[in-house]
Amino acid sequence: MPKRVAVVGVGCTKMGEHWDKSLKDLSTEAGALALADAGIDGKDIQALFIGNMSAGRFIGQEHLGAMAADQAGLTPIPATRCEAACASGALAFRKAVNAIKAGEYDIVVAAGAEKMTDIKGAGAIAALMGAGDQEWDGSIGLTFAGLYALMARAYMEKHGLTREELAEIPVKNHKHGLNNPYAQFNFEVKKEDVINASKIADPLTLLDCSPITDGAAAVILVSEEYAKRFKNPIWVLGSGQASDTLALQNRKSLTEISSTEFAAKKAYEEAGIKPENVDVAEVHDCFSIAEVMAYEGLGFCEKGKAKDLIKSKDTYIDGKMPVNPDGGLKMGHPVGATGVKQIVEIVKQLRGTAVNQVKDARIGLTHNIGGSGATAIVHIFGKE
């Protein structure tokens, strides 16, 4: 009988340009918030896991596990950094779950942190391409917006998605983020604003893209035995992770992300649920088209039918399948932190304390993607 794992504390910094805070500051702030939320002390923590994509390039710092443990005063506990590009946060969380299931610890912290705005000029864009294939994607001058633009063009052509329909994704997410106190932006956009914004990589405009963000998030995980000591534990019902080719050109299809499908299948099976049982989801909308493909990969609609789901407005918080109730990555995407930030939101949703609370949410899902889909990690959470 596998052990069960619960989340009992969550914390998150504001997403944005933190000129006055270092990566150390941000990770410690998120961790302290999570500890306070759980009502425990740092000395209770037995191990630390941190997701970070590219601090080596952003700020010249590797060895992020020890950095975070040191700054938080948690040494000599084991401290592990996990990396899978923009899926680093969910990866760190997954390894934390594993460590508890292996019987090694009863109470650990899983965090994600990224400081992206210290690097000059196009440096952040170049660093982000480390998530793709340097030999095949990077060497021909592709940026990440370029990679997703290629997918957007192929998807629009194949499934008849219009530019207007695609623009509905950022419109929804900006609306959801309007009252999110952690969001990098708090303004609404209209469909025309999205379509007429500066072109980044045709057909994607500035408003189709998630921003460059500094931020961190942390959660406290405990074993089933320890969970009894906490009020309102939120259980990890399922976890799935999958890989795909690093280079976009080697994919079998440009209009679907197969790693999402593999990871979701595993997570749904482990949780013993189906897509229609999910009450609320945080999906990886690094670009508007990514959310469209996530709807299909996660089974929220059939292949090619995302446009109908968009039209129905069922992915708004009061719809049948609310997606990104906090505004998603569009409201801040500190790459290595994003996967944990998504979990923070879903835990709040299942506790019933989210800012944009989805009514009667009992089962929540997080979906975190690395690069153009070479990694996908899906987690499913539930309340008692």
Binding stretches for a copy of itself (CB under 8 A): 2, 22, 24, 48, 53-57, 59-67, 69-71, 74-85, 91, 95, 97-99, 101-104, 126-127, 129-135, 138, 241-247, 250, 258-259, 262, 370-371, 374-375
- Please, how many CA atoms are within 13 Å of residue 321, restricted to the half-sphere of its CB? 20
Q: From the candidates 86, 209, 286, 301, which is the catalytic residue?
A: 86
317 contact partners, CB below 8 Å, separation of at least 6: 176, 325, 356, 357, 358
What is the rounded distance in angstroms from the CA atom of residue 315 to the CA atom of residue 137? 32
- Please, how many CA atoms are within 13 Å of residue 241, restricted to the half-sphere of its CB? 15
- Which residue, 102 or 276, is less far from a copy of itself as judged by CB? 102
Q: What's phi and psi for 138, nearest 5 deg?
A: -70, -40
| Catalytic residue flag (residue 18) | no
- Which residue, 54 or 288, is less far from a copy of itself as judged by CB? 54
CB of 335 to a copy of itself, least distance (A): 10
Residue length of the chain: 384
CB of 381 to a copy of itself, least distance (A): 18
Q: From the candidates 18, 333, 367, 379, which is the catalytic residue?
A: 333
CB of 232 to a copy of itself, least distance (A): 25
| Catalytic residue flag (residue 333) | yes
Residue 351, judged by CB atoms within 10 A of its CB (0-12, 13-18, 19+), counts as middle
- Which residue, 367 or 383, is less far from a copy of itself as judged by CB? 367
CB of 111 to a copy of itself, least distance (A): 14
214 contact partners, CB below 8 Å, separation of at least 6: 15, 16, 17, 18, 21, 26, 114, 115, 116, 117, 334
- Which residue, 149 or 246, is less far from a copy of itself as judged by CB? 246
CB of 76 to a copy of itself, least distance (A): 4
Question: Cα torsion at 214, 369, 34, 330 (round to 10°)?
Answer: 50
- Which residue, 98 or 162, is less far from a copy of itself as judged by CB? 98
Hey, which residues are catalytic here? 86, 333
